[in-house]
Amino acid sequence: MTFLFLCDAERGAVFARAFAEHLHGVRFSMDLDVVDPNDVRYIMTWKPPKDLARYPNLDAVFCIGAGVDQFSNGSLPYGVKLIRMVDEGITRMVVEYVVMAVLSLHRNLHVYIDQQRRRLWREVVPQAQPADRRVSILGIGVLGQAALAKLQDFGFKLSAWSRSARSIDGVECFRGQDGLYEMLGATDILVCLLPLTSETRGILNERLFSALPRGTSIVHAGRGRQLDSDALVAALDTGHLSGAFLDVADPEPLPSDHPLWRHPKVIITPHIAAITQPASAAMTTIENLKLLQAGRAPIGLVDREDFSS
């Protein structure tokens, strides 16, 4: 059986070495021209290939990244598993990003950056203390739980929301639509780490922003299509939101004339919260292949019903 790697050759070389050392019985290939399509059981890619029908024995498609909304248009044949990357390297980088963004908003970095551009030396007073700020996270998956654990070190009051009931020590957890708006009403910094699904598309909108207390700031490291950019600009312009730290947008990159680029209350990064680290990702993939071969569910198996349009 063949594992077909359809990503960049640099990372592919790292994967090839790991497969040769740690996995036997699965052929690793990056060359479409030399593989027998009938032998291909697994494919790793970022975007769904257009010709998946030529692999009649395909069992699973591995996404090399954590986000899988690019597979939401029914591009995978029925019965083919979709597995997103759940890897320590990605988790660590997302946690770093969330902590950086939360602390930046907490300490008014966006205000000071704007003042620096205007050559203005002015202290923002009073400076709130962590015990007086509530940080709320949308999404309590692997990334959300890891970010909450690290934020506890700083003494923030913490809340989190998910579709189903969860319990985390030191975190007030909410669920469902009513729980979402109850949590929003007591939030000072809101962090979005949700996957993109039919339910979360456009979730960061005027209604959600209006449910936040005046002066709340947001961190968006989920997916670009979850954000209504016009609603965000309006909420920032009226002062209802005090700041935004954005890693994703729709489209990416934003058009050069988009008002978010030059907004004094916004910090933008170019979708770099997490970048797949090939060495750890290769080992994560190998462990998942062993689970599949043993007839067990792999880590990161996607419920494709969540990605219906």
**What amino acid positions are annotated as catalytic residues?**
223, 271
**Cβ partners under 8 Å of residue 239, min gap 6:** 214, 215
Q: Which residue, chain included where needed, has tokens 């598309």?
A: 201
**Cβ partners under 8 Å of residue 144, min gap 6:** 137, 138, 160, 162, 193
Using CA atoms, how far apart are residues 183 and 244, in angstroms rounded to an integer?
Answer: 19
User: Computed over its alpha carbons, how large is the radius of gyration of the chain?
Assistant: 21
Which of left, alpha, beta for 302 (phi over 0: left; psi -120 to 50: alpha)?
beta
Using CA atoms, how far apart are residues 103 and 96, in angstroms rounded to an integer?
Answer: 11
DSSP annotation string for 245-289: EES--SSSSPPTT-HHHH-TTEEE--S-S----HHHHHHHHHHHH
